[in-house]
Amino acid sequence: MFALVMLISQLSAAADLTIEINRGNDDPLPIAIVPFSWQAGFTVPEDIARIVERDLHRSGQFAPIPREDMISRPDSSREVYYGDWKSLGVDYILVGKLGLNGSNGLSASYELMDVNTQRVIFTATDIASFSKARYLAHTISDRIYEKLTNIRGAFRTELLYVSSTRDTDKPRFRLIKSDIDGANEVVLLDQNQPIMSPTWSPEGKRIAYVSFETTRPAIYLHNLETGQREQLTNYPGLNGSPTFSPDGRKLAMVLSKDGSPDIYVMDLASRQLDRLTDHFAIDTEPAWLGDGKSIVFTSDRGGKPQIYSVALDGQQLQRLTFEGDYNARARVLPDDLGLILVHRNQGDYHIAIYDTKRRKMEVLTTTSLDESPSVAPNATMLLYATSYRGKGILAAVSVDGGVTYRLPSQYGDVREPAWSPFLD
Amino acid sequence: MSIKTAVSSAALLAGLLASNVSLAQTDSRSFQVSAGADSTMFEQIQQLRREVMDLRGIIEQQGNEIYKLKQQSMDRYIELDRRIGSLGTAATSEPDAGLSGEAIASANTAGTTGEDLAVNRNTANPGTGNASSDYARAYALVGARDYPKAIEAFKQYVKDYPTGDYTPNAWYWLGELYVAVQPQELDSAVQAFQRLLTEYPDNHKVPAAMYKLATVYFTQGDKQRAQDMLTHVIDRYGNSGSSAVKKSREFLRKNF
C-alpha cells in the first residue's frame, strides 16, 4: 500500500481575490438592496446588504442601484413608500433587519417587494453564527436570486485554484480554496513543486489533484473536513486529470503507464483500475456525462485534438466536435445541456459552448489564451483562466456570453479554477 | 491521399528489402545495417501512425459532412412539405389573414361603437402632442399592469407617430401586450412583432421580438416556424450578448 496520509494545517492567506466587472447583461433587473438595520448593542461583522448587492450584480442579471440614490432606508415593508422607488426606476426592493439569535448567532429577517404591483412577494428569516456572516449574506442572495429568476442560486459555492509565485529563486505553488466571490481564502497546500488539475467531488467534501511533491506527478485525494490526504497513484509516466464520477465513487484519470496516455477509471473503494481507452494517440482530460455511464475526453487520434465520448465498457466511441482544428478540455454542463471547452479559432484559444444535439459551437470569450473552463453548478456562469496584463488571472463569463468579470489575485499567477458543486 | 498512401507503402517495401539485404551481409556489417533498419522501421511506424491518424480524422470529418447533409435534406423536405401544405389552405385563409388587422380594429369598434371608443380615447388617453411623453404614458400603463389600456395607448401612439423615435418599441410592446392580455390576442401579437421585424430590421428590439414571436408561433401550434425562428435568433445574434439568445436556447432545449 503506497498510501501516504498526512495532515495539512489550514493557513489563512492575507490577500483575497478581488472582482472587477467589465461587461454586463443587456437587460439587468433594477433592484434596490437597502442596508439592513440592526438594534443597538452589538456590532455586525459584515455589511450584509453590500454582499447581497455584489452577489446579485456579479450574476449580471441584476442592476442594484447605488446607495447614495436611495431617498429613504426602510427596514420593513410597512415603511416603504413605493412612489419613491418607482421614480428611481427600481423594479424590486429588498429590506431587512439584523438581530441576535442566542449568544453567538446572527439572524436576518428580510422582505422582497415588487414595486410595480406594490406587494411583498417574499419574506424569510435566516440565521448563522457571527463568524459566518458572509455565508448568511450569500444565503439571502441565493433566495432572492431563485425567487426572481427561477434558477437555483450558486452564491454559497466555493472555488479551488492554483497560484504560483517566485520566492527568491524557488517557484512556489499554492492550492487555494475560497468563497466563490473570492473571500475567505484558505491555503490547502503550499510547496515548491507544481500542483495541477484540482477537482471537486460531487458532494463537495473531498477534492483530488495532481502534485509533484515526490518530484513525479501523482494523484492525491484530499478530505476537506479532516484535512487528511492520500496518494492514489504512483505510476511511471503521466498521472493526471482526475475527475470524480457523478456518484462520487469513481475517479477517471489519465495514465501513461502502458505506453501512450490513456483514460483509466479507478474505483475509490477497491482501488481497482479499469482501462477505458487503448490507443497509440494521446487520450486525456476526461469528464463524466451526467448519467455516470459515459466519459468525454480529448484525443488526437484523428490527427488534431478533438472531443470524443466513450461508454464505461469501452464501447460506443464517438467523435463529438468537428468545428475548428483544436477542441480540448471539455466540461459537461449540468443536465447534459452541452459541453464547455477550449476552442481554437484563428490562432486564439477561446472558451466555447458546444451544443452536442444541434452540433453548434458558440464562442463565449473575447480574451485570448483562455483555458481550464469550470462551470457553476446552476450552469449560469463559468470560470476560466486567462492572462491579463501579462499575469495569469481568473475570469468569469455567463453561459449566454452576456456577462464577464475578472478575479485578479493579489499575488502571483492564478490558474486552473474549479467551481464547487452546491454546498448548501 | 492515394499518392501519399502509395509513397508510404513504397517506403515500407524498401525498408523490408533493406532488412533482407542486411541478412546476406557479413556479421559486423549486418549489425550496423539492421540497427539502421530498426531506426528506419521506427520512423516508418511513426509515419504510418501519423498517416492513420490523419486518415481517421478525414473519415470522421466526412462522416460528419454526411450527417449534416442528411439533416439538411430532411429539413428541406419538411420545409417543402410545410409550404405545400400551406399552399392548400392559403387559397381559403389568405384573404382572412390579410383582413384580420382591419377585422380586429372593426371588431373593436363594433364592440363599443365608434363614438364610445372616440370618447374613451379622448378621456383616458388624451394625446399630448408630444411623442416621448405619450410613449412614457403608455409605458407607465405597462408598469401598472393595465394591459387593455396600455394596448389602446400604444395603438394610438403608432397611429399618431408612425415614424416616431419610439415607434419600433411601441410595436414591440403591442406584441408583448397582446400576449399578456386576457384573453390573448395572438394574431394581433404576430402582426405587431412582424411590423417591427419588417420595418425596423436593425432595431435593438429585433432579437427579443423574434424570440417572442417564436413563442407565439409555438403557442399557435406552428412548431416548425417557432424552431426556425429561434434557431435564427441564436445563429444571427449568438455573440451579441442579448438575453433573447439565452431565452431562445432555453426554449429550444425545453420544447424541441
pLDDT in tens, A197-245: 999 999 999 999 999 999 999 999 999 999 999 999 999 999 999 999 9
- The answer to whether the Cβ–Cβ distance between B241 and A25 falls below 8 Å is yes
Disruptive mutation site among B46, B55, B56 for chain A (greatest number of A CBs within 10 Å) = B56
| Bond into A334 cis (ω within 30) | no
Within 8 A of B234 by CB-CB distance, chain A residues are 360, 362
What residues of chain B lie within 8 A of the CB of A400, using their CB? Answer: 241, 243, 245-246, 249
Do the beta carbons of residue A69 and residue A88 sit within 8 Å? yes
Torsions phi, psi for A318 (to 5 deg): -145, 135
Distances (CA, A) of A91 to A25, A63, A65, A120, A261: 16, 10, 11, 12, 55
- Answer whether residue B111 shows pLDDT above 90: no
Q: What is the pLDDT of residue B240?
A: 66
Q: Which residue of B has its CA nearest to A86?
A: B143
pLDDT beneath 50, residues of chain A: 1-15
Q: Encode burial over A313-342: b for 16+ CB neighbours within 10 A, e otherwise.
A: eeeeeebbbbebebbbbbbbbeeebbbbbb
Q: How far apart are CA A81 and CA A79, in angstroms?
A: 6
**Which residues of chain A have a CB within 8 Å of the CB of B144?**
116
Interface test with A, best of B45, B47, B61, B247 (most A CBs within 10 A): B61
User: What DSSP character marks residue A132?
Assistant: G
Geometric angle at alpha carbon A92, from A89 and A95, rounded to 5° = 120
Using DSSP, state whether B83 is helix, strand or coil. helix
Q: Which of B60, B63, B245 lies closest to A400 in CB terms?
A: B245
pLDDT at A11: 34
Amino acid of residue A321? T
Of A302, A355, A363, the CB nearest to B60: A302
| C-beta separation of A130 from A71 below 8 A | no
Q: Which residues of A touch B64 (CB under 8 A)?
A: 319, 322, 359
A72-124 pLDDT, tens per residue?
999 999 999 998 898 898 999 999 999 988 877 899 999 999 998 889 999 99
Q: Residues A62-68: contacts with CB within 8 Å, 24+ apart?
A: A62/A28, A62/A29, A62/A30, A62/A31, A62/A148, A63/A24, A63/A28, A63/A29, A63/A30, A63/A31, A64/A30, A64/A31, A64/A32, A64/A33, A65/A30, A65/A31, A65/A32, A65/A89, A65/A90, A67/A35
Contact list in A for residue B49 (CB cut-off 8 A) is 280-281
Which amino acid type is present at position A209?
A: Y
CA nearest to A115 within chain B: B143
Of A280, A360, A402, the CB nearest to B241: A402
Is B239 touching A (CB cutoff 8 A)? yes
Measure Cα distances from B6 to A15, A236, A302 in Å.
63, 39, 20
The CA distance from A354 to the nearest CA of chain B, in Å, is 12
Choose from A260, A322, A325, A382 for mutation: most chain B CBs within 10 A. Answer: A322
Instruction: Give the CATH class of A23-149.
Output: alpha beta
Instruction: Quote the pLDDT of residue A410.
Output: 66
Q: What is the pLDDT at residue A264?
A: 97
Q: Does domain A157-419 have CATH number 1.10.645.10?
A: no
Q: CB distance from B246 to chain A under 8 Å?
A: yes
Phi-psi category of residue B113: left, alpha or beta, with phi > 0 → left and psi -120 to 50 → alpha = left
Q: Show residues of chain B in contact with A378, CB under 8 Å.
A: none
Contacts of B53 in chain A (CB under 8 A): 281, 300-303
Task: Write out the three cell numbers for A335.
Answer: 443536465
CA distances from B100 to A190, A403, B96, B111, B187 (A): 73, 42, 6, 16, 8
Closest Cα in chain A, distance from residue B243 (Å): 7
- For the residues of A341-363, what is the DSSP string, one character each? EEEEETTEEEEEEEETTTTEEEE
Question: Per-residue pLDDT for B166 more than 90?
Answer: no
Instruction: Quote the minimal CA–CA distance from B17 to chain A in Å.
Output: 27
A to B CB pairs, distance under 8 Å: 66
Taking alpha carbons only, the member of A8, A92, A1, A7 closest to residue A53 is A92
Report the residue of chain A nearest B231, measured CA to CA. Answer: A358
pLDDT of residue A123: 96
Residue B106 confidence (pLDDT) above 60: no
Q: What is the mean pLDDT of residues B5-9?
A: 39
Instruction: Indicate if A157-419 has the same CATH topology as A23-149.
Output: no
B254 touches chain A (CB under 8 A): no
- Does the beta-carbon distance from A360 to B234 stay under 8 Å? yes
Q: Is 0.90 exceeded by the ipTM?
A: no
Pairing verdict, β A195-200 and A186-191: unpaired
Q: Given this model, what pLDDT does residue A24 score?
A: 57
Whether A300 has its CB under 8 Å from any CB of chain B: the answer is yes
Q: Are A242 and A286 in contact (CB under 8 A)?
A: no
Is residue B5 over pLDDT 80? no
Q: Cβ(B37)–Cβ(B15) under 8 Å? A: yes
Kindly report the pTM of this predicted structure. Answer: 0.69
Average pLDDT over residues B115-123: 36
Query: Pick from A139, A154, A101, A147: which is nearest to A120 by CA?
Result: A147
Among A72, A69, A89, A90, smallest CA distance to A81 is for A72
Domain boundaries, given as residue ranges, for chain A = 23-149, 157-419
Q: Which of A25, A306, A359 sits opposite B243 (nearest CB)?
A: A25
The SS3 of residue A320 is coil
Question: A301 contacts in B (CB within 8 Å)?
Answer: 53, 56
For B128, half-sphere exposure in the C-beta direction (CA atoms, 13 angstrom radius) is 10
Residues comprising chain A, all counted: 424
Instruction: Quote the mean pLDDT of chain B.
Output: 73
Distance from C-alpha of B144 to C-alpha of B170, rounded to nearest angstrom: 16
- In this structure, are strands A37-38 and A92-101 parallel, antiparallel, or unpaired? parallel
Task: Give per-residue pLDDT as tens, B137-157.
Answer: 888 888 778 888 889 999 988
